[in-house]
């Protein structure tokens, strides 16, 4: 994947619980690179009282409102919302159509703000699914075995195996993403091995 844009824009993606956040932290902490995180922007889009949060509350009612909250304040229970959208593809699509345009606007604004930065990292879990490759000059995929992904997700989010599989199934499989990435970072081993791969990847375009 090539681009004529003078700024190096690394699209960082991977499956859920594959290790994207770990790689992002290493890129920022060890190499000083600015991060733009789609998940952070999506959470901000659904902050209590925002128009999208009110739309979610209007669609799902008490099922997604935080315990004891005023419905007018639209304070969302993200866990409850996750159970709905990861169990129903149509509802997940509705939510993505609500949030993705806001995330795209956020990226545009932040890239303009960081226009002078030589390199920017765009952390986008659904990069391929949302068709955001044109934002990037290269795409790095954080890769692991499917069983590792399942076990990490269950441990991280205290999910049952079935719930974790549903969340994994909501994204493209890692095998499909491997064929599309500019570079693959193997996160099957140790943090030191992962850090070494990142350093090597930053030395090449």
Strands, E assignment, 160-204: 183-186
Region 75-95: mean pLDDT is 95
In whole angstroms, what is the distance from residue 123 CA to residue 10 CA?
A: 8
Q: Which is it for the CA torsion 102, 108, 109, 110, positive or negative?
A: positive
Which candidate, 156, 143, 136, 162, places its Cα nearest to that of 10?
136
Report how far apart, in Å, the C-alpha atoms of 39 and of each of 7, 8, 81, 99, 124 are: 22, 21, 15, 10, 7
pLDDT-based confidence at 32, cuts 50/70/90?
very high
Region 64-86: mean pLDDT is 91
pLDDT-based confidence at 2, cuts 50/70/90?
very low
In whole angstroms, what is the distance from residue 17 CA to residue 156 CA?
A: 8
In whole angstroms, what is the distance from residue 114 CA to residue 122 CA?
A: 12
pLDDT of residue 58: 94
> Would you say residue 69 has pLDDT above 90?
no
- Domains plus CATH for the chain? 1-34+114-205 (3.40.50.300), 43-101 (no CATH)
pLDDT of residue 5: 59
Report how far apart, in Å, the C-alpha atoms of 202 and of each of 10, 32, 61, 97, 198 are: 9, 12, 46, 33, 6
Full-prediction pTM beyond 0.75? yes
Which residue, chain included where needed, has tokens 């789609």? 38
> Would you say residue 187 has pLDDT above 70?
yes
**Quick check: 126 and 20 in contact, CB under 8 A?**
no
Phi, psi for residue 122 in degrees, rounded to 5 = -110, 105
In whole angstroms, what is the distance from residue 60 CA to residue 42 CA?
A: 18
Region 184-201: mean pLDDT is 95
- pLDDT-above-70 percentage for the chain: 97
Region 132-156: mean pLDDT is 96
In whole angstroms, what is the distance from residue 157 CA to residue 143 CA?
A: 19
In whole angstroms, what is the distance from residue 7 CA to residue 11 CA?
A: 12
**Quick check: 14 and 125 in contact, CB under 8 A?**
yes
Report how far apart, in Å, the C-alpha atoms of 139 and of each of 1, 149, 151, 170 are: 8, 20, 25, 20
């Amino acid at each position: 994947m090539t681009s004529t844009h003078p700024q190096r824009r690394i699209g960082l993606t991977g499956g859920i619980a594959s290790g994207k956040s770990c790689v992002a932290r290493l890129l920022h902490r060890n190499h000083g690179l600015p991060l733009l995180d789609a998940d952070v922007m999506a959470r901000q889009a659904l902050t209590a009282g925002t128009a999208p949060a009110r739309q979610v509350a209007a669609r799902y009612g008490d099922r997604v409102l935080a315990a004891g909250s005023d419905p007018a304040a639209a304070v969302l229970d993200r866990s409850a919302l996750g159970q709905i959208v990861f169990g129903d593809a149509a509802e997940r699509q509705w939510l993505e159509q609500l949030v993705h345009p806001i995330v795209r606007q956020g990226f545009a604004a932040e890239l303009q703000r960081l226009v002078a930065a030589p390199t920017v990292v765009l952390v986008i879990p659904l990069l391929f699914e949302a068709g955001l490759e044109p934002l990037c000059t290269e795409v790095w995929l954080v890769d692991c075995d499917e069983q590792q992904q399942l076990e990490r997700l269950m441990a991280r989010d205290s999910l049952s195996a079935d719930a974790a599989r549903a969340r994994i199934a909501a994204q493209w499989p890692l095998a499909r993403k491997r064929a599309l990435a500019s570079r693959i970072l193997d996160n099957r081993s140790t943090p030191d091995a992962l850090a070494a791969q990142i350093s090597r990847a930053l030395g090449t375009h």
